[in-house]
Chains A and B, each alone.
Chain A
Amino acid sequence: MGDARSEILQGTLDLMVLQTLEAMGPLHGYGIARRIEQVSEDALQLNQGTIYAALLRLQQRRWISASWGTSDNNRKAKFYAITRAGRRQLAEETANWSRIAGVIGRLLRLSER
């Protein structure tokens, strides 16, 4: 619908969260949401609350862990960190993603001709 913001797939959000935590170290939910928005240069503007569904899913699978801590400006917040299983999963998904992206890219280029 002509909007520059895109709907994002569930699995994609999970992957983005994992990658963010891998790159930035432990972060709270707001931090993760901000970071994803920044990286996507606000192309992906999500309801920040939806990040929590992804965070719960990842926690339930033990790919990330969570604990209460204090933020930079002295606020109580829950911090998430990637686990070893999470890194394994991230590596797998990244490879997977590149493969699919490659395939789709080729497919789109083909149909452009």
Chain B
Amino acid sequence: MRAFLWTMLSRIRGVFGARRLDDDFSREVAAHVDMLTADNIRHGMTPDEARRAAIVRFGGPMQIKEQQHDDRGLPFIETTLQDVRYALRSIVKYRASSIVAIATLAIGIGAGTAVFGIASAVLLRPLPYRDPDRLVRVFETNPLKGWTRNIASPANYADWKTQNTVFTDVAAYEQFSSNGSGAGDVFLTGVGEPQGLKALGVTGNLLNVLGTAPLMGRTFTDDETFEGKARVVVLGYGLWQSAFAGDPAIIGRTITLSGRTYDVVGVMPRGFFFPGRDVQIWLPVAYQPSLFVNSRRPHWLGVVARRRPGVSLPQAQDEMTSIARGLERQYPDTNTQMGVRLENFHDSLAFEPRPALLMLSGAVGVLFLIVCANIANLQLGRAVTRARELAIRRALGAGRGRLVRQLLTESLVISVVGGALGLALAAGAGTVLSRFAAAAVPLFADVRVDRSVVLCAIALSLVAPLVFGVLPALASSTPERLSDRGATSSRSTGMLRSVLVAVEVALSIVLVVGSMLLVRSLLRLQDVDPGFNPDRVVAFTLTLPGARYPNAQARLLAYREIERRLREQTGVQSVGATSTLALRGFTWTGDSTVEGRAPTDYERELRHQSVTPDYFKTMGIRLLEGRWFDDRDRIDQPPTAIVNEALAKKYFRGADALGKRITYGRPTDKNPWITIVGVIADEKQDGLDKPAQPAAYASIAQQMSNPLTFVMRASIPTDSAIALARQQVGAVDKDLALTDVTTMQAVVDESMGDHRFRTTLLSAFAGIALFLAALGIYGVLSYFVSQRSRELGIRLALGAKRSALFALVIGQGIRPVLAGAIIGLIGALALTSVMQSLLFGVQALDPPTYAIALALLGTIAIIACAVPALRATRVDPLVALRDE
């Protein structure tokens, strides 16, 4: 064994020092022969005789040297290196087709790797928790309210936690916004400028359920969940670095958040996040214990549980469902039809982006196949021009296996070069995409080039030559006689190339149809009226700290003062504020009673929000009926509401809503009646692709809300408007900070971000596919024309019309296109039906889409055919015949 290892080592070394060792051995052989010659002379031979005899005696120095060379190194590797050198030479020789092959491969591998990078960051890379696969997200479901994955109420959460036997523990965190991770804003003061932070309220056991050990200090304890013990925080690594310069003595330090003091008890390690990377600090929810007993109607908790070892997800689901049934019987008032849905925690985070990412992964796979088919086509074309070279090599004794091996090595070299470029491309694209894809890639995912991405590029580079290299290598190494015309091989390779073109066309059609569907969806989406005018409106959120603004009166004064100051600035046309910004999707909802209906007949899921009177005007929302809010809607006046059109239609079924009365809550709650004073056109809430839901607006004078999002329409540039807002807010209270600063146009764009992302990518893939298919068609047809220029010349000489030749060539080229198109259409019909969930306002079987895709492909195919066909008509019969 030892001897074997030494031998291998020595052979490996032999590969690298081959030339030096060859020289060394030549000298040794020379010395040997010299000594033998000298001895022979001493035995009486003449010098010439002596030398000849010595060489005979030695036994063929050349063979011995070659044998020695092979024994010394690794002939397999050396042959490969030789093939690689040869491959590099032929790549340089056939420069044009090599560059096309390498470039298309770089695009194919680059696109594949980039998409894989995103998909792996979102779907594959394990979350930074202990045994992340055992973590489960628990949702409430309720068909009555249309909930499939809803956040939970505190009392339901508490009952789940105490009654189950399938989880080691159940934890919860607050979700007060659908923006980002659902984290709220707090203000860090006393450390430099006041700083808005994303803070997440969690139950004391949450970080323990996740199971990630803190970098320093500790996590929370169970009793820190409750008010009175909860003035503690755990910092994220990023915040610890940025705000506290990585202070090693941070544990035990007291910091001020929104006017209250907290003790820092822990710092989480770098790379930890929960549930998104935007959360900078975690603090206990600080509830009264009674809340977990009584609060069953409002829902605001995200619930995470850890499965016990040996308990499967379906088992856990079964037990949780029976617990939910029990709660339903016990609390029919709140829990009727309230079910539970369990999801693997990672899956729940990746729930929304998954379909688009899977679709893009599939698309990029198809693109990769097209790239391979295209290169195979190129290689075949080149093999024909190389037929002579290959025939000579065969004549010199190269076996078929040897030729195939050498051609495959060439493919591999092209592939590796293309793969390296592709990886560089993917790395570059990654940074562009992650900025561009910010809205499409969820907050928890960190898109970067890691080992798995590099491995993906390597795998693609190695697989590609198998796909595109084997067929041409086999086809072009078939034995044939040494002829400079390659006429025998052209028939079978010509057929093969037509098949490849058909494959390319078929695959391209699938991509083109898919991307056309997405493009049409996006166009539909862009045409949707958001219900407001986003032009020149900036938005920012303010949170008044409860410590200094303890009641509605104080808050109203502060918000009004800020609004008044902003309104008076030059360049500002209008200012308003709302508790829920359009298209951000999150708001409080609840049951609602309509005056005059039966006591059991009430509405569910009414959205309520509070606004300042100028909110509607600033946003450009249209008033359909009635009036805006004004000074009449004071706290000491009967409550009033402005409702949206969706509510007017649903609650009053076409009758006039104006002057009617509704309440929040059920008939039995006997809440005060609210009079409808105005009806506005719907503003979009959850997204441009979702219909508006019934909503009622109250004036903040009657129904205070905190935080509020301000909207400001200004004729000055966005940056100046934001600076102005900062300055005026600071003038009212220097410890207030603006958060979520944006423009309404950006909010609209962001809401379409994932649509735009997948549409752009898929369209790019389809465009490349079409281009490659055209290249394939062109290549095959050009070859056809050049091979048959003699025949075409004869036909011309015999009086054939040029237009007939044109038709002949076009007919030849269009045949594989038609075959491919038919197969592709069938494939597209089958494949795009899985895309329905990604579409908006377009059916997967949308006839215009198919028509456009076919027309597009037809046009491109005809252009690709026309160029060589024109060349065919310009054949000069004399030149063509003389060429022979």
Which residues of A are at the interface with B, using a C-beta cutoff of 8 A?
28-30, 33, 47-50, 52-53, 56-57, 59-63, 71, 73, 75-78
Q: Are B32 and A29 in contact (CB under 8 A)?
A: yes
Pick from A30, A33, A71 the residue with the most CB of B within 10 Å. Answer: A30
Name the contact of B60 in the complex, choosing from A49, A53, A59, A76 (C-beta under 8 A).
Answer: A49
- B1-44 contacts to A (CB < 8 Å): 3, 6-7, 10-11, 24-25, 27-29, 31-32, 34-36, 38
**CB of B244 closer than 8 Å to a CB of A:** no
Docked Cα-Cα span, A33 to B29, in Å, equals 13
Of the A-B pairs whose beta carbons lie under 8 Å apart in the complex, a sample of 6, sorted by A's number, is A53-B64, A62-B6, A75-B34, A77-B28, A77-B35, A78-B28
Measured in the bound complex, the distance between the Cα atoms of B445 and A80 in whole Å is 64
A-B pairs with the 4 shortest C-beta distances?
A: A47-B59, A49-B64, A61-B3, A60-B7
In Å, the complex CA distance between A33 and B59 comes to 13
A74 to B66, CA, bound (A): 28
| Contact (Cβ within 8 A) A75 B35 | yes
- Whether A30 contacts B61 by the Cβ 8 Å rule is no
With the chains together, A49 CA to B66 CA distance in Å? 12
CB neighbours of A56 from chain B (8 A): 68, 71-72
Q: Which residue of chain A has its CB nearest to the CB of B71?
A: A56
Contacts of B63 in A (CB 8 A): 49
Is B64 touching A52 in the complex (CB atoms < 8 A)?
A: yes
- Interfacial chain A residues near B71, Cβ < 8 Å: 53, 56-57
A53–B63 Cα distance when bound, in Å, is 11
Given contacts A48-B57, A48-B58, contact A29 B64 (CB under 8 A): no
Assess whether B28 is in contact with A29, with CB atoms less than 8 Å apart.
yes
Q: A61-B3, A62-B6 are in contact. Are A49 and B35 (CB under 8 A)?
A: no
Knowing A76-B27, A76-B31, A78-B28 touch, does A47 contact B58 (C-beta < 8 A)? yes
Task: Find out whether the CB atom of A75 lies under 8 angstroms from the CB atom of B68.
Answer: no
Which chain B residues lie closer than 8 Å to A29 at the CB level? 28, 32
Contacts of A61 in B (CB 8 A): 3, 6-7
Contact status A30-B35, CB under 8 Å: yes
Using Cβ atoms and an 8 Å threshold, which residues of chain A touch B6?
60-62
Q: Is the CB of A71 within 8 A of B72?
A: no
Cα separation A49 to B59 with both chains bound (whole Å): 6
Closest to A29 in B: B32
Cβ distance A24 to chain B, nearest Cβ, rounded Å? 16
Within 8 Å of chain A (Cβ to Cβ): is B67?
A: yes
Identify the closest chain B residue to A77 (Cβ).
B31
CB neighbours (8 Å) of B64 from chain A are 49-50, 52-53
CA distance A82 to B67 in the complex (A): 23
Inter-chain CA distance A75–B59, complex, in Å, is 22
A50 to B61, CA, bound (A): 10
Give Cα A49–Cα B63 distance, bound, in whole angstroms. 9
Pair A47/B57 contact, Cβ less than 8 Å:
yes
CB distance from A15 to the nearest CB of B (A): 14
State A110–B32 Cα separation when bound (angstroms).
45
**Given A49-B58, A53-B71: A60 and B28 interface contact (C-beta under 8 Å):** no
Closest chain B CB from A18 CB (angstroms): 13
- In the assembled complex, the Cα of A60 lies from the Cα of B3 at a distance in Å of 8
Q: Are A30 and B29 in contact (CB under 8 A)?
A: no
Known: A52-B29, A78-B31; 13 extra A-B contacts, CB below 8 A, are A28-B32, A29-B32, A30-B36, A47-B57, A47-B60, A48-B36, A48-B58, A49-B29, A49-B60, A56-B72, A60-B6, A60-B7, A63-B3
Q: Are A48 and B10 in contact (CB under 8 A)?
A: no
Q: Which of B66-104 contact A (CB under 8 A)?
A: 67-68, 71-72
Shortest CB-to-CB span from B845 to chain A, Å, is 69
Query: Are A71 and B35 neighbours in the complex by a CB distance under 8 Å?
Result: yes
Nearest chain A CB to B180 CB, angstrom units = 65
CA distance A60 to B28 in the complex (A): 17
Residues of B within 8 A of A33 (CB): 32
CB distance from B97 to the nearest CB of A (A): 44
Chain A residues closer than 8 Å to B3, beta-carbon distance? 61-63
CA distance A75 to B27 in the complex (A): 12
Docked-complex contact A60 and B10, CB < 8 angstroms: yes
Report chain B residues within 8 Å CB of A50: 59, 64
Name B59's closest neighbour in chain A (CB-CB).
A47
Contact of B32 among A48, A53, A57 (CB under 8 A): A48
**A residues in contact with B32, CB < 8 Å:** 28-30, 33, 48, 77
